[in-house]
Structure 1
């Protein structure tokens, strides 16, 4: 699989790199790492996200080169990273007829197989790990800028190496990346110690909605559109909110209800490990990993909560 990707890189000249909507640290980090690597090889590279880069990750090299509109030129290869489902790359990618072939690189258990090459490894801690494997498989060194991006991808998707996906490979790669000279405290400060005031104000409102099941085995919080209006916060500032209910002693599954349009909610699921939340998300048209998954549902908040909580009662 890696050899096939390296051959596509070697024999083609124009590349488009993209990822999923509302990109997280792994999506941004792995995309920028691959784009930077391709550019250093002399390739013509465009980075496209259907949503802007969250402010949290704008310290990464090339983050200011990400575009929301695909240029009119043709592309030999489009790398689609970390999407899980092809639709999450956005309609512009799905409708683009100037792309000759797609290569899918992902670590979601429920990933679609839509590429001419589908490099999918659910055991990888992050998609950034797969980008590292490709670079090393080509016999190339990882430079400072690429290390910064891959380290960010790994540290965010492993919850700072707290989650169960923080396997030996993730630690080994992180150690190698640190040897390039990246400053781990500087990265941590930008990711975790530089929050805008609006995020904490929004979190306070979200925590006030917290519910815990009668048995104490699942819990939820909610963010609605009016909360954004009250605080001046944006949706990107909700990253990590789903982990707060999971931190309660005894809770095995946390659920985060985030209103994205009137009557339309994005649902995030997190597990401590005993419960496979990807199967729960799949029951509602979503997917993801064993310990982290998501879905989108329409209806009133009460209706959606009723359906989900009933399903959780049966599952748990």
Structure 2
């Protein structure tokens, strides 16, 4: 599979690199690392995200070159990274007819095989790991500029190496990346120690909605459109909110309800391992990993909560 991808890289000139909507650290890091590598080979590269790069990751190389509007031109190959469901790449990409072929690189347990090449490995800690494997297999050097976004991809998707996906490969790769001269403290400071005031104000409102089940085995918090208006915060500042309910002793699954539009909610799930939340999300048309998944549900907040909680009760 990797050799096929390398063959496509060597045989073609123009590349589109994209990822899922509301990009997280792995989506951003793996995309930028691959783009840096392709540009180094002299390739014509466009990086397209359906949504802007979160300010949190603005320090990464090429972050300022990402576009939201897909240029009206042809591409030999489109790399679609970290996208479990093709629709999450956005309509500009899914409906694009000016791409020669799609290469799907992903590590989600639930996924679409939409590419002409589908390099998918759910055992990988992050999509950044798969990008590392591809570049490493070419024999080319992985230097500071590539290592920085790759390390960011791995550290964010493993929860700073706290999650169960922090396997030996993730640590081994990270060790090699750190050896290029990247500063682990500098990255951690940018990711975790430089929060805007609005995020903490929004978190305070979200935590006030904390709901815990009677048995204490699942808990949830909610962010509404009104909370955004009251704090001046935006959706990208909610990254990591879902982990707070999970940190409660006895809670096996946490749920984060985020209002996207009136009557429409993004629902994020996090599990401590007992419950496969990818299956839970799939019942609502979503997907993800065993311990981290999500979906979109229509209805009032009370209706959405009741439906999700009913499925959770059965799962637990």
Equivalent position SS for 2:99: coil
Aligned pairs (5 A) from 1:273-292: 273-292=273-292
TM-superposed CA distance for 1:258, in Å, is 0.1
1:300 and 2:305 correspond: no
Distance 2:155 2:77 in 1: 28
Distance 1:308 1:114 in 2: 29
1:179 and 2:191 correspond: no
User: Structure 1 regions of 5+ residues with no counterpart?
Assistant: none
1:248 and 2:248 correspond: yes
Query: TM-score, normalization: structure 2?
Result: 1.00
Deviations 1:187-229 (A, max 9, x none): 0000000000000000000000000000000000000000000
2:167 corresponds to which residue?
A: 167
TM-superposed CA distance for 1:302, in Å, is 0.5
Aligned pairs (5 A) from 1:90-109: 90-109=90-109
- Which aligned segments of 4 or more residues in structure 1 are displaced greater than 2 angstroms? none
Distance 1:314 1:72 in 2: 48
Deviations 1:116-165 (A, max 9, x none): 00000000000000000000111111011110000000000000000000
- Which sits farther off after the overlay, 91-100 or 189-198? 91-100
TM-superposed CA distance for 1:179, in Å, is 0.3
Distance 1:279 1:232 in 2: 35
Distance 1:231 1:180 in 2: 40
Equivalent position SS for 1:101: strand
TM-superposed CA distance for 1:244, in Å, is 0.1
1:158 and 2:151 correspond: no
Aligned pairs (5 A) from 1:202-221: 202-221=202-221
1:72 corresponds to which residue?
A: 72
Distance 2:149 2:311 in 1: 38
TM-superposed CA distance for 1:304, in Å, is 0.7
User: Structure 2 regions of 5+ residues with no counterpart?
Assistant: none
Distance 1:220 1:73 in 2: 44
Deviations 1:35-81 (A, max 9, x none): 00000001000000010000000000000000011112210000000
Query: TM-score, normalization: structure 1?
Result: 1.00
Distance 1:301 1:72 in 2: 40
Distance 1:192 1:231 in 2: 20
Equivalent position SS for 2:269: strand
Distance 1:134 1:301 in 2: 43
1:60 corresponds to which residue?
A: 60
- Which sits farther off after the overlay, 68-77 or 185-194? 68-77
Distance 1:165 1:298 in 2: 31
TM-superposed CA distance for 1:263, in Å, is 0.3
2:261 corresponds to which residue?
A: 261
Deviations 1:14-34 (A, max 9, x none): 000000000000000000000
1:44 corresponds to which residue?
A: 44
